[in-house]
Amino acid sequence: MSDLYNVSAAPHIRSPIKTNSIMRDVILALIPAGLFGIFNFGLRALLVILATVLSCVVTEYVYCRLMKKPVNPWDYSDIVTGLLLAFNLPSGIPIWMAVLGGVFAILIVKMLFGGLGQNFMNPALAARVFLFISFPARMSSFALDKVISPTVTDFLRDGVLVLDGVSGATPLGQLKAGETVDLLKLFIGNIGGTIGETSALALLIGAAYLFYRKVLTPIIPFIYILSFAIFALIFGGHGFDMNYILGHILSGGLILGAFFMATDYVTSPITPKGQLIFGAFLGIMTGIFRIIGTGVEGVSFAILLGNLLVPLIDNVTRPKTFGKERVKGVK
């Protein structure tokens, strides 16, 4: 009997990588964009970030206690959701709206569907779209180009400290109107937009860290951006205008969405072929929303639509079972 093999239940191959380590790496990767957002929009941006993170953490804790479920405060997933939600909000949004978004993301999209790993779409983006549909004026009001000088002072507005700014068209609005944009300014990020989307440089630094840590694979983000660029080249009406194409890539939430939200493990395909299809679908849908549609943004809607198709994509691209042959004429 000592020569018999002991076979345990699946899975037989286990990874030393834990959920909390992945989430911790994502938090670290988001720090550069978060710090730049605070620099760009002032202390009000920090307040929004704290509001969304705390609302996500408290909502998950209260739900678990009420439902008598185990509380795991160290998986950090609620913190990641709060950060990503804040990064998709304008800095001037009322704090109660930011808190409402955090509650919606955790309670409605995550916990009611089973908690971590069971949500059918990205919680942060779902909350962002919920707020956009409910409060379109507030969600479309951006502080642009913070006035930077040695004499800039903070002042009290609505009970919080903020930095003064000026208003104007967003880069996507300029591109929609046929104007050119400053690509260097877009890359660095001293522009208007939501808190975490403005600096492509800061986001790419965070993405590079995730690639180094092998948390991300390049298929989805690169195919997403490439397919969108091809769509813009064919249907944008500007030909091979690099200012137009790169302006679209560097502005809005495309970089943030491609590297930090479309790559969510739970709501993205698991097969390589599926990831190719998923990335191409996101690029095409973003192009339709931005270029053909009447709006100027489309990343959030494209990713959420893609999330809904993930089960179908996984089913279609599922590899053949090991040792099983397909008989011709038999399904």
For 308-326, the pLDDT digits (tens) are 999 999 999 987 766 555 5
Look at residue 192 and tell me if it is in a domain: yes
Q: Confidence band (pLDDT; 50, 70, 90) for 156?
A: very low
Element holding 157 (H helix, E strand): strand 155-157
Query: Is residue 211 over pLDDT 90?
Result: yes
* Tokens matching residue 170: 């967003």
Q: How many domains does the chain have?
A: 1
In tens, the pLDDT along 36-66 reads 999 999 999 999 999 999 999 999 999 999 9
- Alpha-carbon distances, residue 75 vs 25, 57, 82, 119, 307 (angstroms): 11, 11, 13, 16, 22
Query: Is residue 152 over pLDDT 70?
Result: no
Beta carbons of 243 and 181 less than 8 angstroms apart = yes
Beta carbons of 58 and 234 less than 8 angstroms apart = no
pLDDT value at residue 268: 93
Q: Confidence band (pLDDT; 50, 70, 90) for 135?
A: very high
Q: Rounded to an integer, what distance in angstroms lies between the CA atom of residue 37 and that of residue 149?
A: 17
Look at residue 205 and tell me if it is in a domain: yes
Query: Is residue 147 over pLDDT 60?
Result: no
Q: What is the mean pLDDT of residues 177-199?
A: 88
Query: Is residue 298 over pLDDT 90?
Result: no
pLDDT value at residue 220: 96
Query: Is residue 136 over pLDDT 50?
Result: yes
pLDDT value at residue 148: 39
pLDDT value at residue 326: 56
Nearest residue to 117 via CA among 18, 247, 211, 46: 18
Look at residue 330 and tell me if it is in a domain: no
User: CATH number, domain at 149?
Assistant: 1.10.3430
pLDDT value at residue 175: 85
Domain of residue 155: give its range.
Answer: 19-311
Of 37-51, 102-116, 133-147, which gets the smallest average pLDDT? 133-147
Look at residue 185 and tell me if it is in a domain: yes
Q: Confidence band (pLDDT; 50, 70, 90) for 138?
A: confident
pLDDT value at residue 93: 93
Look at residue 237 and tell me if it is in a domain: yes
**What's the mean per-residue pLDDT of the chain?**
84
Q: Confidence band (pLDDT; 50, 70, 90) for 151?
A: very low
Look at residue 87 and tell me if it is in a domain: yes
Look at residue 24 and tell me if it is in a domain: yes
Question: Which residue has better confidence, 274 or 161?
Answer: 274
Nearby residues of 163 by Cβ (< 8 Å), 6 or more positions away? 41, 42, 43, 44, 146, 147, 152, 154
Q: At what angle do helices 19-41 and 200-212 cross, to 10 degrees?
A: 160
Query: Is residue 165 over pLDDT 50?
Result: no
pLDDT value at residue 329: 58
